[in-house]
Structure 1
Amino acid sequence: MAGQGRHAQRRPPRWHWLLLLLILPIVAASLLFEGWTTHEVDGARTRRACTSPIPKSADNGSPVLRITDDNVETAQMPLRTAALTFDGGPDPQWTPRLLDLLHAHHAHATFFLYGTQAARHPELVQRIRDEGHEIGSYTYTGGDLGTASSVRSRLELSLTQSALAGSAGVNTGLLRLPHTTAADTMCGAEWTAARRATDQGYLLVAATPRSRKPPLGVVRQYSHTALGYQEAKKLLANPQVGRFSTVTAGLGRPSLTTPATWTERVQGTALIWTQSVGHAFASSMTWALGIAGGLGMLRLAMLAFLARVHVRRQQRYRSGAPWLHEVTEPVTVLVPAHNEEAGIEATVHSLLASTHRDLQIIVIDDGSTDRTADIARSITDPRVTVVQQPNSGKPGALSTGLRYARCDIVVMIDADTVFEPDALYRLIQPLADPVVGAVSGNTKVGNRRRLLGRWQHLEYVLGFNLDRRMFEVLECMPTVPGAIGAFRRDALVSIGGVSDDTLAEDTDITMALWRAGRRVVYEETAIAWTEVPSTLDQLWRQRYRWCYGTLQSMWKHRHALVEVGTAGRFGRRGLTYLALFQIVLPLFAPMVDIFALYGVCFGDSLQAIGVWLGFLVIQLVTAGYALRLDREKLSALWALPLQLFVYRQLLYLVVIQSVVTALLGTRLKWHRMHRAGTANQHLLREPVPYSGSLPSK
C-alpha cells in the first residue's frame, strides 16, 4: 500500500548524510590513531635481547651521547652536580607533586615526556615549561625503537615534537630511548635506532650507572610514580650534591627546548584534537558496549521468559474458559490497494476460502494506475465490493472503507496478504471479551527463498511475533500490523477512526485504543502470509517509513506515560520499551560491531571474537526457541550469523536516519514497494461459491 497523502510534502534532506560521510572517516581515523598510540597496532613494547654491545667509545659510563658518522661524543655532569630526569608522563597525579617538590627545593629538572601524554595533559606540559624545567622526548608512546618498524620509529619522534608544539609551543632536541637506563643498555638494535635519532639532530641522554654516586656528577633517572617521587626527594636531601640542574645547564650548553613555529603549533593542535577524539571515542565504546549489551541481554531474557508465560496462559485459556464464547458474527474486511495487481486476486481468494463464511470484503482502490480495480471486479462473488477513489494514502483508503462497512467487527489487511483458511476465524475469537478492542494476527514471510527473505523471516519470528507474545503478557501491545488485524467497529469510532497524523497508522490506531481503555491482544494461530521487500533499497524505504511513523506515534501519544489506568499502563510499559529497545538500543548497536572490529584489528582478537560469538550464541538460542513456538523449521537458523553482517547494520542505520529526520522536523512521504505476488504460493485452496445472505447493518 503506497499512497502519497498529506505526508508527501518533501523528501528528507540529504545534507545530513553528507555530514555523516564526513564525520565517519574522521572518527575512524581518530580511532585508528588511538589504537596505534596504545600499541595495539605495530606493537613495539617488548624489547628483544641485545645481539651486540655498544661501541667501546660510548661504553665509558657517560650518560650523554652524540653520534656523528663513526664518532661518538660523550659527556658527564661536573662534580657535585646532579641532573634529575623524569621519564614518562606527564601524569595527572604525580607530575604536579614532583613539580611542587622541585619548587620547594628551588631545583630544576629535565622531563622526558610521552607525546601521547603531552597531548592529553597540555596544561601540565605548560607548567613544566613555565617553571623553568627542561623538556625532552621519550617518544610518542614509549615503544622500543629498536624493534619498531621504520615507519613507526619516525612517527614516534615526529609526533612527539608535534604534541609538544601543540601543548606548550616548544620543540626539543633531547631524547631518551625508552627501556634504556645507562648507555650500555643502548645495544643491539637499539644502537641502530640511536644512530637514526642522532642523524635527526637529537642529543641522547641515558643515566649514570648507580655505582657512581655524589659528590661525583650524576644523571639520575626517575619515573612519574610514587617510587620516583620518593627517590627524587631522597636525592634532593643529599648534602653531597651542591647543584641540581637540567641536563643542558649541567653541561654548560644552551637549552635544547626551543620555541615552535606557528605552523608546528597548528599541526600540534590538530594532533591533540585528533587524539582527543579517538581517546574519547575509544573510552565511550566501553560504556556504549555495556549499555548495548545490557539492553540486548535484558530484551532477549524478557522475550524468552514472557513468551513462555504467554504459551502457558494460552494453553490454559484453550482448555476451556466458561466466560468466553465462540465468535461467529459477520466480519467486514477492508483491503486498501494502490497498484497491487500482482497480489490482489490471491488476497481476495484467500479471504473467500476462509472457514468463516459470513464476510463483507471491501477492496478500496486508492488511485491505482494499473489493473488492480479491474482484477478485483472480475471476482464474481457477492461478498466482494470494489470502491475506487483518488489517491489519498492508506489512512484515507481505510476511512473510506469504514464508511462502507456493515459489520461490527472490522478486519484490516494489506493487499499483498494471503490468509490461511482458518486465520480469519481464529483472529476474531479474542473479541469475545468485550474489553478487547483489537487483535493482532501472526504475519509470516511468504517470499523467504532468497537470503534477504530469510533474514526478514527470522526478524518476523524473533523480532515481531516473539515481541507480541511479551506485549500481550505485559498488556502494552504497541502495534496491530497492517497485514492482519481485527478491530471492534465501536472501538475505532471511539478514537475517531483511522488518523493520517503519522506514517504508521496501524501503530497510531493501536496506541489510541489503549488510551481509550481498550485492550489489544495477540492471536498467534491466526496466520497470514505477506510479501516482504526483495531488495535492500525497498527494505530501507519500508523500514524507514515504519520507524519514522513509530516515532511520530510515540510522540503523539507521549502523554500516556503520565495517565492512569489502561492508558498509563500502556504508556509506562509500551512506550518505555519502544524507547529503550527500538530507539536507544539500535543507536548504541553500532558500538558492538565497532568494538568487535577494533578488538580484532588492534587489541585482543580472541577476546573480541569471543564476545561477539557469545552474543551470537545467545541470539541463536533465542531464535531457535522463537522458531519452535511459531512451528517453523530450525534450519532457518543458518542465515542468522550472516544477518549480523549486513541486515542488522541496515536496520540500525534506518533508526539513526529516522531519529535525525524526526529531530529536523522533516515530513516524509509514503514509499511504495514493488509487488511481485510472491506470497501467492501460500494460497491453500480456491474460494468456495457463496450462497448465503450478505451481512447487513
Structure 2
Amino acid sequence: MEHSISVILPNYNGRSLLLSNLPSIVTALENVECDFEIIVVDDCSADDSVDMLQKEFPFVKVIVNEINQGFSYTCNRGIFSAKNSILCIVNTDVTFTPDYFTNGIRYFDDANVFALKGNIINYQNSIDEVVSIEKTAQLYIKHGFLRFNKKVDYVPNSFTGEIGGQFVLLGCCFLCSREKAIELKGFDEIYSPFYWEDSDIALRALRKGYGLIYEPLCVVYHKASSTIPNFRSSTKIKLVSNRNKFIFSWKFLHGSKQWLNHIFYTLINLSVRWIILDWKYYVAFFNAFTRFLIFKLKLLS
C-alpha cells in the first residue's frame, strides 16, 4: 500500500527546539520512499519562531494562530490542513532516530489501525541522561478516577480500551491515520490548553473498534520539561491537569459501579479537602464542572 506522511508540530515559543530537532525529522522522512510534508502550527509565539522557519526551513508549511489557543486547537488546525494519509503529531522537543518512519509506516497497511506509538526516551540535559522510557500503560480506576499505570510489561493484543486492559499513551509523538483522526474530529478541545487530550483520542479510537500499535523499534528522544513548564506556573499546570482528570473520567466512566465509586470519593474529597487548605481541588472541580457543562450544551445546540 502506498503511503504519504504529514508531520504536524504545534509550536509555542519553540524557536531553539525547532532549530535543534527539525533536521532529525527531515532525515527520518528522507529515509522513507514516500511523499511528505512538514506543518508547523504556531500558537501565537512571542519569539521569532515564524521568521526563523521562513528563513531556515522554507519548505515547511507554517500556520499561525492569531491568539494563543492551546494544544488541542493548534494540533487540530494541522490535522485538518494536512494532505497526506499518515499523520505524525509531535512536540517540538522531540528528536527522531533515522529509522523511525521506516519502522512504523508498514503498520498502516492494516486499514483498522488508528495510531502507532514507539519508545519515548525522556532525558534531561543530554540524550545520555535518560530519566525514563515511555512504553505502554494499564488503564485502571483508583479513588474514583481513571488512571494509567506505566509500570507494566507490554502484553501483545491487550489494547481493549477497558478497565484492566493495556493502553498506548500517545504522548509527545505518534503516527496516526489522517482519515480516522478526522473521523474522530481530532483532539477534543475541552482539554485546552494542555494535558489528557492524547489519552482521550486514543481511548475514543479503541472504544470505536480501531487498533493501536506499540512498536519499540520506533524510537524518539524527548527532552523532559522543556515546553509547558517553561511557560506555565506549577500552580496553573496542576489546576489544568486536575481539571482535565475530572473531565477525562466523566467522559469515559461507564456503568453504575464505576460512577458510584467516583461520586463516593468525590463527595468525601469535597467534604474534607478544606481541612488541609487544598483550595486547588475545589477550583479544579468547579472549573471541570462548568467547562464540561458548557461543552455539552454546545453539542446540544
Both proteins in one fold, TM over 0.5: yes
Q: Which residue of 508, 523, 537 maps to 2:200? A: 508
1:551 CA drift (Å): 3.4
Q: Contact between 1:332 and 1:411, CA under 8 Å: does it hold in 2?
A: yes
Which residue matches 1:473? 158
Structure 2 gap ranges (5+)? 138-148, 270-275, 292-301
Supply the distance in 2 between the matched residues of 1:470 and 1:496 (Cα, whole angstroms).
Answer: 29
Supply the distance in 1 between the matched residues of 2:103 and 2:3 (Cα, whole angstroms).
Answer: 12
Map 1:159-170 onto structure 2 (within 5 A): none
SS in 1 for 2:204: helix
Which residue matches 2:298? none
Supply the distance in 1 between the matched residues of 2:157 and 2:198 (Cα, whole angstroms).
Answer: 17
SS in 2 for 1:407: coil
Q: Contact between 2:115 and 2:213, CA under 8 Å: does it hold in 1?
A: yes
Which residue matches 2:23? 349
Which residue matches 1:526? 218
Once the two structures are superposed, residues 349-407 of structure 1 have per-residue CA deviations (whole angstroms, 9 ceiling, x without a partner) of 1110112253211011111110111222223463x211112122211111211232111
Supply the distance in 1 between the matched residues of 2:279 and 2:248 (Cα, whole angstroms).
Answer: 17
Q: Give the direction of change, closer, same or farther, for the CA distance of 1:448–1:548 in structure 2 (3 Å limit).
A: farther
Supply the distance in 2 between the matched residues of 1:549 and 1:663 (Cα, whole angstroms).
Answer: 9
Supply the distance in 1 between the matched residues of 2:11 and 2:290 (Cα, whole angstroms).
Answer: 20
Which residue matches 1:487? 176
Which residue matches 1:362? 39
Q: Which has the higher contact order (CA 8 A, sep 6+)?
A: 2
Q: Give the direction of change, closer, same or farther, for the CA distance of 1:448–1:467 in structure 2 (3 Å limit).
A: farther
Q: Give the direction of change, closer, same or farther, for the CA distance of 1:447–1:407 in structure 2 (3 Å limit).
A: same
Which residue matches 1:441? 118
Q: Contact between 1:507 and 1:550, CA under 8 Å: does it hold in 2?
A: no
Q: Give the direction of change, closer, same or farther, for the CA distance of 1:543–1:663 in structure 2 (3 Å limit).
A: closer
SS in 2 for 1:378: helix
Q: Give the direction of change, closer, same or farther, for the CA distance of 1:347–1:541 in structure 2 (3 Å limit).
A: farther
Q: Give the direction of change, closer, same or farther, for the CA distance of 1:666–1:466 in structure 2 (3 Å limit).
A: closer
Map 1:271-282 onto structure 2 (within 5 A): none
Supply the distance in 2 between the matched residues of 1:542 and 1:421 (Cα, whole angstroms).
Answer: 33
Which residue matches 1:38? none
Q: Contact between 1:442 and 1:465, CA under 8 Å: does it hold in 2?
A: no
Supply the distance in 2 between the matched residues of 1:376 and 1:545 (Cα, whole angstroms).
Answer: 30
Structure with higher strand content: 2
Q: Give the direction of change, closer, same or farther, for the CA distance of 1:353–1:553 in structure 2 (3 Å limit).
A: same
Q: Which residue of 82, 89, 95 maps to 1:412? A: 89
**1:398 aligned onto 2:75:** yes
Matched length: 252
1:662 CA drift (Å): 4.2
Q: Give the direction of change, closer, same or farther, for the CA distance of 1:546–1:525 in structure 2 (3 Å limit).
A: farther
Supply the distance in 2 between the matched residues of 1:507 and 1:439 (Cα, whole angstroms).
Answer: 13
Once the two structures are superposed, residues 545-580 of structure 1 have per-residue CA deviations (whole angstroms, 9 ceiling, x without a partner) of 445434322211224x59xxxxxxxxx9xx99xx9x
Q: Which residue of 247, 251, 256 maps to 1:552? A: 247
Supply the distance in 1 between the matched residues of 2:217 and 2:199 (Cα, whole angstroms).
Answer: 21
Structure 1 gap ranges (5+)? 1-326, 563-571, 588-652, 670-697
Once the two structures are superposed, residues 79-113 of structure 1 have per-residue CA deviations (whole angstroms, 9 ceiling, x without a partner) of xxxxxxxxxxxxxxxxxxxxxxxxxxxxxxxxxxx
TM-score between the two structures when normalised by the length of structure 1? 0.32
Map 1:592-671 onto structure 2 (within 5 A): 660-666=282-288
Supply the distance in 1 between the matched residues of 2:210 and 2:73 (Cα, whole angstroms).
Answer: 23
Which residue matches 1:336? 10
**What is the one-letter code of the residue matched to 1:469?**
Y
Which residue matches 2:142? none
**What is the one-letter code of the residue matched to 2:217?**
T
Q: Give the direction of change, closer, same or farther, for the CA distance of 1:402–1:449 in structure 2 (3 Å limit).
A: closer
Q: Give the direction of change, closer, same or farther, for the CA distance of 1:462–1:542 in structure 2 (3 Å limit).
A: farther
Q: Give the direction of change, closer, same or farther, for the CA distance of 1:343–1:441 in structure 2 (3 Å limit).
A: same
Supply the distance in 1 between the matched residues of 2:190 and 2:225 (Cα, whole angstroms).
Answer: 25
Which residue matches 2:63? 387
Supply the distance in 2 between the matched residues of 1:472 and 1:542 (Cα, whole angstroms).
Answer: 34
Q: Give the direction of change, closer, same or farther, for the CA distance of 1:540–1:523 in structure 2 (3 Å limit).
A: farther
Q: Give the direction of change, closer, same or farther, for the CA distance of 1:334–1:666 in structure 2 (3 Å limit).
A: same
Supply the distance in 2 between the matched residues of 1:542 and 1:467 (Cα, whole angstroms).
Answer: 26
1:518 CA drift (Å): 0.8
**What is the one-letter code of the residue matched to 1:484?**
C
Q: Contact between 2:6 and 2:84, CA under 8 Å: does it hold in 1?
A: yes
Supply the distance in 1 between the matched residues of 2:284 and 2:13 (Cα, whole angstroms).
Answer: 29
TM-score between the two structures when normalised by the length of structure 2? 0.69
Supply the distance in 1 between the matched residues of 2:5 and 2:73 (Cα, whole angstroms).
Answer: 20
Q: Give the direction of change, closer, same or farther, for the CA distance of 1:424–1:548 in structure 2 (3 Å limit).
A: farther
1:500 CA drift (Å): 0.3
Supply the distance in 2 between the matched residues of 1:558 and 1:466 (Cα, whole angstroms).
Answer: 22
Q: Report the identity percentage.
A: 18
Map 1:168-179 onto structure 2 (within 5 A): none
1:440 CA drift (Å): 1.8
**What is the one-letter code of the residue matched to 1:558?**
L
**What is the one-letter code of the residue matched to 2:186?**
G
Supply the distance in 1 between the matched residues of 2:118 and 2:25 (Cα, whole angstroms).
Answer: 14
**What is the one-letter code of the residue matched to 1:386?**
V
SS in 2 for 1:473: coil
Q: Give the direction of change, closer, same or farther, for the CA distance of 1:346–1:543 in structure 2 (3 Å limit).
A: farther
